[in-house]
Amino acid sequence: MNGMNGLRRYQWLMGILLVALFLTGCETGHDFVKKTEFKDADKIVVIFAGPVDNAWATDVSNFSVYEEPDPDIRLNIKEAALGPDKTTLTLNFEAPLNQGEAHILSTTNIVSEGQDLGAATLTVKKLYFGILMTIFLGAALIQNFVFTKYLGLCVFFGTSQKRSTAIGMGIVFTTVMVFAGMMAWALYQFVLKPYQLTYLNIVVFIGLVSLSVQGVDTILRKVNPALFKAFGVYLVLVIANCIAIAVPLMLADNEYNAWESLMLALGAGLGFMLALFLMACVRERLELAKIPPSFRGLPIAFVTAGLFALAFLGFSGLSIY
């Protein structure tokens, strides 16, 4: 019995070790290379497990790099520099790298302390999490649907008079957007694209949005009547929102996968909520302000929205990863 238990524990450990080995092994593609990553705009850093030969590492002709989709186009390396610990190799390129794509770095036989460790083909790519965050931030702030794409304006001006209304509308919209976005992704990838029906995109996506609104309406009415009473009015308005059709079309155009689609939908929803909330805060104060009669109501709201749009231009250079 004891032996069995011991064996089980051992198996557990082996499993974890195997998974860890698999994960680390997958990352780069050569046993002697610990890590590869992008640095700045035009550098790739390779970290080796041990010291490598200086003469080998600083010879640019030992390395060749290309973007994964275009193996024909070799990127020009300006210089290769080895760090003082002899394990960190920095490759400087002549032009900035397109870091959204994975890069393939192939080397000649790695020379380490006189030993020949064989050639390596390494993959350099951004963390997938970083790409997801870029999509999310792009949809929420940098390319905010309301302030930079001018979509969903009717609902935006209709429901941004009070803060409570704005938050309610934002939450309902985000929920529906996530449902509709995921369904649109599945339908596009598994039905429309394989059967060459992409010319029906708009029809199908509009149907999907109304479907998810109806579904959320039906379920919420029964499951949480209090929430339905608070948010039910905004549900119908979601159908009238053009962001709800823009998101599925964008994720179909860009061929996003499930996670990227989710991030786009979530970013669009939260970005819309942020826009509504900011606008509602200002409009609550505008109620008390002295505004020339001809500007009262919607005109001053449009002016405010324009100022917000200018302010959101400040996000245009934002990138975290």
Residues that bind another protein (CB under 8 A): 187, 191, 195-197, 199-200, 203-204, 207, 211, 214-215, 218-219, 221-223, 225
Residue whose pair of structure tokens reads 């997801």 in the numeric block: 132
Which of 224/316 has CB closer to another protein?
224
**Cβ proximity to another protein, 13 vs 200, nearer residue:** 200
Give the DSSP H or E segment for 43: strand 43-48
Looking at the Cβ atoms of 56 and 179, the one nearer to another protein is: 179
Nearer to another protein, 64 or 175 (CB): 175
Torsion of CA 189, 195, 196, 197, to 10 degrees: -80
Question: What angle separates helix 243-253 from helix 258-286, to the nearest 10 degrees?
Answer: 150
Distance CA 75, CA 94 (A): 8
Decide whether 219 or 240 has the Cβ nearer to another protein: 219
* Closer residue to another protein in complex, CB, 130/232: 232
How far is Cα 299 from Cα 63, in angstroms, rounded to an integer? 61
CB of 221 vs another protein, minimal distance in Å: 5
Q: What is the DSSP letter of 50?
A: S
DSSP character string of 112-171: ETTEE---EEEEE---HHHHHHHHHHIIIIIT-TTTTT--SHHHHHHS-SSHHHHHHHHH
To another protein, the closest distance from the beta carbon of 259 in angstroms equals: 24
Closest separation in Å from C-beta 229 to another protein: 12
- Min separation Cβ 276 and another protein, Å: 24
Residue 195 Cβ vs another protein, minimum distance, rounded to whole Å: 6
Q: How far apart are CA 318 and CA 311, in angstroms?
A: 13
Q: What is the closest distance, in whole angstroms, from the C-beta atom of residue 35 to another protein in the complex? A: 46
Q: Specify whether the CB–CB gap between 51 and 113 falls below 8 A.
A: yes
